[in-house]
Structure 1
Amino acid sequence: MVYPLGALAVPLWWWRRGRRAWAGRTFPWGADLLVTLPWLSDLTGNRLNFFDTVTWWDDVSHFAHWALLTAGVLLAWAPGRRTGPGVVVMVGLGFGATAAVLWELGEYAAFLRTLPTYQLVYPDTLGDLTLGTSGSLLAGLLVAAWRRARRPVRE
């Protein structure tokens, strides 16, 4: 249920509010792709059982998925172009850290608390939170740098 909603976040937002708020601009395809890729990748990893058979998959997923998701969110929803790079980084970090915590709470509610080795999950959760937050920080830095590079030079 969460995957389709995550993949539809940008189109639903655009349909509901974005068209009026961004009159004259085209649909944010890049942001939509960045927001959708983590959901597709996680679904594929689950379907192919990578989380249980590829030892590094979970760690790379948490870092990369939050980097992609945060970059997409920043491109679609972040404050206007006049916002300084520090604010963009902080918004990305705040979004990513909050979303990572919510994701881990969802994992706990869905299946972690029912595992027989449930007490061993705590270090994995801390690692996942660290990787997700780090990916979000990287995304914030990259989007801020990208916006700065696209800003016209004033003479």
Structure 2
Amino acid sequence: MGRRLLWLNVGVKALLVALLLFSVTSGLERFNGKAMSARALAYPLAALIVPVVWRLRGRPRPYPHMIDILVVLPFVIDTGGNVLDLYSVWWFDDVAHFLNWWILVSAFALALQRTSLGRLPSWSIAVGFGAATEILWELGEYTVMKLGSSGLQLTYEDTIGDLALGGLGTLLGATIVFVAFRRGVVRESSPTA
């Protein structure tokens, strides 16, 4: 299981790099005004969060491949959605906000289960993390738009909808991890935790 997760982890990160390279080198018009160069810098840095934290903590337990994969997947979905021009499909942005926060908060909730916090405090912190990161994402979109980006079609309704869907994804991600640990489906010593 651990070896498969390792290769899946490497594959997800390689896919992210390939998608980002394509987005900044292809010259396709669909990437204009979408801050792909900034994403090409920020997303790989975000993909380093789990390895850096794991190393700073003295490499406790087996490497948390599942957490690492889940942290990187939202960036793959976002970049892949741009590469495939899925954001031009009316429903994709909504699905992406829900799904990405479900995945990201699941990763964070799994990471919290590796600490000495109780399950309910971990759930609460994971929900707070999801809400805060969704708000920061929306502020980032707003800032990019105000700096002159033409690739984002932001409206009040879109922002509120994104916050609501990200919030629902957040609640689902934190709750599924909470319930899975409570029922013993996932254990703290599991390579996925």
TM range (shorter): 0.7 to 0.9
1:136 deviation in Å?
A: 0.7
Match of residue 99 from structure 1 = 133
Q: Kindly provide the CA deviation profile for residues 52-107 of structure 1, in whole angstroms up to 9, marking residues without a partner as x.
A: 2x1111000000000100111121245636613x3232112100000000001111
1:59–1:128 Cα contact (<8 Å) kept: yes
Identity %, equivalent residues: 41
1:66–1:135 Cα contact (<8 Å) kept: yes
Q: Unaligned regions of 5+ residues in structure 2, if any? A: 1-40, 188-193
- Alignment coverage as a number of residue pairs: 145
Report the residue type matching 2:181 in the other structure. R
- TM normalised by structure 1 equals 0.83
Match of 2:82 among 39, 46, 56: 46
Change (3 A) 1:107 1:119: closer
- TM normalised by structure 2 equals 0.67
Are 2:174 and 1:140 aligned? yes
Match of 1:7 among 47, 50, 63: 47
Are 2:148 and 1:123 aligned? no
Q: Unaligned regions of 5+ residues in structure 1, if any? A: none
Match of residue 70 from structure 2 = 34
Root mean square deviation of aligned Cα? 2.4
Change (3 A) 1:122 1:33: same
Return the structure number with greater helix share: 1
Match of 2:121 among 71, 82, 87: 87
Report the residue type matching 2:55 in the other structure. W
